[in-house]
Amino acid sequence: MARVGIYPGSFDPLTSGHANIVERSLQFFDTVIVAVLKHPEKRAMFTPEERSELIAEVFADEPRVEVDHFGGLLVDYVRSRGATAVIRGLRAVQDFEYEFQMTMMNRRLAPDIDTIFMMTDEEHFYIASRTVKEVARLGGTIDGLVPPSVAHAMFGKLGREG
């Protein structure tokens, strides 16, 4: 039986920290599904479809990574994809507090689905999608903070060269 892990998030945009979690998750899962959350209340730079396309482009050479998008309850989506685990990346204590609360609610809703927490590599601890967007909007460099194709797409959205 294939081990399938779901890595959910908004990924607006996918950062180098997110990519690091995906790559390292492949050590534990046969397939990692990067599941882009459709969050209607969030003001996003990219549509869920655009985010999915960017992520697929970043992992084009890795056949064990699938990209999808979903709305609704995560546990329902996890079951629909035949997965048994949710992958969550952590950077700092405040991430843990939020993720712990979400994990306990998911466990209440679906006790058979586990959550795997992974610390991002040290060089990515400070990277947050929100901060990367702000730096890009203010004209700063985002080299190394996001994959090159994502940086190119961000600068395209902002109407300038990267």
What domain range includes position 78? 4-125
Provide mean pLDDT across the span 119-130: 85
Q: Report angle CA 62, 110, 76 to the nearest 5 degrees.
A: 55
pLDDT tens-digit series, residues 51-107? 999 999 999 999 999 999 999 999 999 999 999 899 999 887 667 888 889 999 999
pTM: 0.93
The 3-state DSSP class for residue 69 equals strand
Q: Is residue 162 part of a domain?
A: no
SS (H, E, C) 22-45: HHHHCCCCCEEEEEEECCCCCCCC
Structural domain contains residue 11:
yes
Rounded (5°) CA angle 8-53-95: 25
pLDDT in tens, 4-49: 999 999 999 999 999 999 999 999 999 999 999 987 777 889 999 9
Write down the pLDDT at residue 126.
Answer: 83
Q: Assess if residue 102 is contained within a domain.
A: yes
For the chain, how many structural domains are there in total?
1
**Domain membership flag for residue 138:** no
In a domain, 39, yes or no: yes
**Residues 101-123, mean pLDDT to the nearest whole number:** 92
Give catalytic residues, as residue numbers.
18, 42, 91, 129
Domain with 62 in it: what CATH number? Answer: 3.40.50.620
Any domain includes 150: no
Stretch 132-137: mean pLDDT: 93
Does 17 map to a domain?
yes
- The CB-side HSE value for 124 (13 A sphere, CA atoms) comes to 21
pLDDT of residue 37: 93
